[in-house]
Amino acid sequence: MIEIKIEGEIPELNTNLEPAMAKIQDIMLKSVQMNISMGGRPNPFAVKHPNETPLVGSGKMYAGIKGTHTDVSAMVYMDDSVRSSDGFFYPAALHYGANVPPVEGKLMVFEYDGGTVFTMKRKGFKLGPFPFMIFQEQDKADILKIVSVAIFKQP
Decide: 76 and 25 in contact? Cβ < 8 Å.
yes
Cβ distance 38 to 47 under 8 Å? Answer: yes
H or E stretch including 68? strand 65-69
C-alpha dihedral sign at 44, 49, 54, 58:
positive
Ramachandran class of 39: left when φ > 0, alpha when ψ lies in -120 to 50, beta otherwise: left
pLDDT digits (tens, 9 = 90+) for 28-63: 999 988 877 776 555 555 555 555 554 566 678 888
Q: pLDDT value at position 39?
A: 65
**Residue 16: how many CB atoms within 10 A of its CB?**
10
Distance (Å, rounded) from C-alpha 155 to C-alpha 152? 9
Q: For residue range 66-123, what is the model confidence (pLDDT) as tens digits? A: 999 999 999 999 998 888 777 888 788 877 888 888 888 767 788 888 888 877 777 8
Total-model pTM: 0.69
Indicate whether 18 pLDDT > 90. yes
| Measured CA distances, 94 to 12, 36, 59 (Å) | 45, 12, 16
CA distances from 137 to 20, 61, 133 (A): 19, 23, 13
- Domain positions in the chain: 18-99+126-150
Give the pLDDT confidence score for residue 110 in this predicted structure.
80
Q: What is the pLDDT, as a whole number, of residue 73?
A: 93
Burial class (CB in 10 A: 0-12, 13-18, 19+), 31: buried
Would you say 39 and 50 are in contact if contact means Cβ atoms under 8 Å apart?
yes
